[in-house]
Amino acid sequence: MDAAVRQGMKLLETPGVHRGYTPNPKLLTMAWEDKALRDILNGADLSLPDGVGVLIAARLTGKPMTERVAGADYAVQLARAAGERGKRLYLLGGKPGVARRAGERLVKDCPGLVLAGTADGYFRSAEQAAERIRASKADLVYVCLGCPKQERWIARYGAQTDARLLLGLGGTLDVLSGDVKRAPKPVQKLGLEWLWRTVGQPERIRELWRLPVFLAEAVLHGGKGEWRWQEN
């Protein structure tokens, strides 16, 4: 987490527009069959292992990672560091009112942070959404539109925002607003937050097949450097 925050702050101080994503098994299995999405992920300036499945796969391929960097936790830690330097944050995504509530809580918790603006995820024009962010003069943007929509939006419209760093953070705004509760800390440490979320949101069950498939690919191909997405 500390290294990820340092890298995020470095990107915020570096000229240009930078892009960050939080790949999990769901997003990565999608990328196997979608070269455009694969290229988007491979072009990231910051890539965070948000998902215990990614950590397991890394160990199975002999390239272990230090720890999981959950998007909701990272969003808070980076906002605190950004607040120390008076950075401007824009929140995009969620249902009406969610981004605003999340922003209010972040500003309260992160002294010095400036909330440049918020917008829900039901915009009609992607270009207009990008223009509003540009007009807000935001340095940092949390894009929470769900995957892979948020990754595609950042890749296509990120440069139009003039922000220094745009991060795709899935359902993070629901957590930051208080609308969705995180799993208890012991459950998180055991790597079972995915199970907690599935119990609370049964519709997630239909996505569970992706984890065993992802890990099987890690065992069969990852250790030899022959992941399926590299074939073409």
Say what the alpha-carbon torsion angle 171, 133, 76, 18 is, to the nearest 10 degrees.
90
In a domain, 170, yes or no: yes
SS3 (DSSP) at 20 = strand
Q: pLDDT by residue (tens digit) across 158-187?
A: 999 999 999 999 999 999 999 877 656 665
**Residue 206 within a domain:** no
191 pLDDT above the threshold of 70: no
Q: What percent of the chain has pLDDT over 70?
A: 82
DSSP state letters, 66-83: S----HHHHHHHHHHHHH
Is residue 227 situated within a structural domain?
A: no
d(CA 88, CA 107): 10
CA separation (Å) from 14 to 7, 11, 87, 138, 139? Answer: 10, 5, 13, 14, 11
Question: What is the mean predicted confidence (pLDDT) over 121-141?
Answer: 97
Residue 229 lies in a domain: no
Domain count, the chain: 1
pLDDT tens readout for residues 71-128: 999 999 999 999 999 999 999 999 999 999 999 999 999 999 999 999 999 999 999 9
The conformation of residue 119, written as its DSSP 8-state character, comes to: E
In a domain, 157, yes or no: yes
Confidence of residue 207 (pLDDT cuts 50, 70, 90): low
**56: in domain:** yes
pLDDT of amino acid 230: 40
State the chain's mean pLDDT as an integer.
Answer: 87
Q: Is 225 inside any structural domain?
A: no
Q: Does the residue 193 lie in any domain?
A: no
Domain that holds residue 111: 2-181
- Report d(CA 5, CA 40) in Å as an integer: 21
pLDDT of residue 232: 33
**Where residue 172 sits, what CATH number does that domain have?**
3.40.50.10700
| Residues above pLDDT 90, as percent of the chain | 64
